Structure 1
């Protein structure tokens, strides 16, 4: 395995780092409140970053999302790329790709996904979709939402349809989320519905693995940003005449956080690399999701604790990393839940290999 980024991937990461570093400032994030930074989203799209994902692949997207996570930039980049651009490019019909991709590339269309499927949406005999999903990230910004029904079929639903309701929901992190209610809307089928891993339709299994990997990459950036703030604080803040960073307890806590962050990063890289190489990656995506969930919350807790009393300030930038880290933990699934799914997947693969 070689996770060395290509020239194009490195360029995309560098561009993302510059834009997020310049525009996703504490002052702008404070002004945005719980909403999306619309001007930042326009800047990203004008620079061609969402469109570049089709060329740089999932590993390139993970690198870009790391940069977003470092600054907790409030834009629907991960959702649009995973549930829109990559999903349609990989599984859409030629007509769907021609019709939908241009708007997703230039940002005039925003996608999100009701993932993973929890059985909350079902399809009636007449083909209409019914049900609800408690919260969907960036739903309030979305023009399209990718919905998985109880049988794991994928449907593109336009949020402006009369039978689609998006009720604003405030989540731990300011992700412009909403409760999705479908009351007989007719969605547009995506994918051919062929069986994939564990008997799931191939399109659903692929999008789910892609989403887990991408959001794990976002968590790697959130953790790196939190740790960087903690390091700066403990190096510059003195206690009893010496920097806090010289305290052994502080050093060990920061070292543990660093190792956790690297574990999230490398497992996300492996899953993304395998996906781009068209190798089986469901187990690796679950592994990345577990590290991002379990280790991610440890890191953002450590980042806040290492700030001492300052970390209790809800207006301090490090608190935003804490909120994002906990939100990603919830979105990726608790550790026990993810491990159970991983165990079932490995057991199934082992049985297939023995037969």
Structure 2
């Protein structure tokens, strides 16, 4: 059995790598440091759209390539490898894919062509204060009024909310969940800017009796709960793919540095302690790769992936933590020098680690599933 990538997956990966490597550099990223400019490369966004990559997992009838979640995740991995200033995950994974899977024909026709062309920008509000489960909102509630929903509550860390055409979010209802496409310009919506270590534009979204018409409702009740579980798992694995790309790049950057840096007239890569630590990073990254690809593969195939997502999530948080520290230590002072590009990767690795949540807590959840007989291979 061939466990390698298919030809189409290689093509998507190579195309994404070529475009991102050609257009993202330490110099281009420096313009966004300390919020000097909005961290969104619109010219690069247009190039990805022209290459068809924004529609890699969108059906052909809406202008996309018609590939699957695996190909899209490979794009996210390459974005992590370059830490590209693009809203790929929030736009494609957390918002566009749910519209394609759960939306009505009218909703698909309204939004997906614009997703592919890059003319429409979507995002998702998946975070709430003191709540680490996007599929179980606590602070955001919705009540029905005729065919509409009236939503109140608060979401945090909503990327690119100020320029989004719609914001996907979930609210608790009397019979489950409602998943909606919120107009950020609707009456009762307030956006408050947040500052984060990656300099990505993020916002607190406050909702005060905001009316959402039936045309912008994706799913409700039990269907809404199932939809949010799927969205949460896909978004988590996409973040793992981004973490994989960033970890791999930081590890390889460190290997190159230690192969050139001399101390006492000797390459530091020949020092046993340096070699062991670099080897541990390589093992970590490859384990993260295997577990992330396993979760991606099961989601891509429409299989239950809860166990695999939790395993990938644990690895992504821990590997990002270990690789960022090892990379900085093996670089010495250069590792924290802002004139050298490693520091941006370390910030993103720690940001992703925190966004993924506590590995110990996820491990405890996985342990409960194992104890209940719910975590065996099928």
Q: How many residues align?
A: 349
* CA distance in structure 1 between the partners assigned to 2:369 and 2:203 by the alignment: 31
Q: Secondary structure at the match of 1:304?
A: helix
Per the TM alignment, residue 134 of structure 1 is displaced from its structure 2 partner at its CA by 2.5
Q: CA deviation at 1:104?
A: 1.2
Q: What corresponds to 1:41 in structure 2?
A: 45
User: Could you say which residue in structure 2 is the equivalent of 1:145?
Assistant: 167
Displacement of 1:268 in angstroms is 1.1
State the alpha-carbon separation in 2 of the partners of residues 179 and 271 from structure 1.
Answer: 30
Aligned counterpart, 2:25? 25
How far apart are the structure 2 equivalents of 1:350 and 1:273? Answer: 19
Q: Structure 1, residues 203-233: CA drift from partner, whole Å, max 9, x if none?
A: 1111111111111001000001111111111
Q: Tell me how far apart the structure 2 counterparts of residues 255 and 71 of structure 1 sit (CA, whole Å).
A: 22
Q: Secondary structure at the match of 1:194?
A: helix
> Is the alpha carbon distance of 1:123 and 1:102 closer, same or farther for their aligned partners in structure 2, counting shifts above 3 Å?
same
Distance 1:292 1:147 in 2: 25
Which residue of 276, 288, 291 corresponds with 1:267? 291
Q: 1:76-116 CA deviation, whole Å, 9 max, x = no partner?
A: 01111112221111111111111111111111222222222
- Corresponding residue SS for 1:223: helix
Which range moves more in the overlay, 163-172 or 221-230? 163-172
Give the superposition deviation at 1:32: 2.9
Give 1:261 deviation, angstroms. 1.0
Instruction: Give the aligned partner of residue 69 of structure 1.
Output: 80
RCO higher in structure (CA 8 A, sep ≥6):
1
Name the counterpart of 1:290.
314
CA–CA separation in structure 2 for the residues paired with 1:278 and 1:58: 10
Q: Please list, as runs of the form range in 1=range in 2, the aligned pairs for 1:1-355 lying within 5 A after superposition.
A: 3-33=3-33, 34=35, 35-54=39-58, 55-115=66-126, 116=134, 117-126=136-145, 127-150=149-172, 151-187=176-212, 188-191=216-219, 193-194=221-222, 201-347=225-371, 350=374
CA distance in 2, matches of 1:350, 1:12: 35
- From the superposition, tell whether residues 345 and 162 of structure 1 become closer, same or farther in structure 2 (CA, over 3 Å): farther
TM-score (norm. length: structure 2):
0.87
SS of 1:236's partner is coil
Contact 1:124 1:130 in 2 (8 A): no
After superposition, the Cα gap between the structure-2 partners of 1:266 and 1:255, relative to the gap in structure 1 and judged at 3 Å, is same
Alignment check: 8 A CA contact 1:88 1:190 kept: yes
Listed as ranges, the gaps of 5+ residues in structure 1 are none
Structure 2 portions without partners, runs of 5+? 59-65, 127-133
> Relative to 1, partners in 2 of residues 1:152 and 1:331: Cα closer, same or farther, differing over 3 Å?
farther
The change in CA–CA distance for 1:139 and 1:342 in structure 2 (over 3 A counts) is farther
Structure 1 SS opposite 2:208: strand
Determine helix, strand or coil for the equivalent of 2:161.
Answer: coil
Show CA shifts across 1:40-85 (max 9, x none).
1121122110101233312112211111111111100111111222
TM-score between the two structures when normalised by the length of structure 1: 0.92
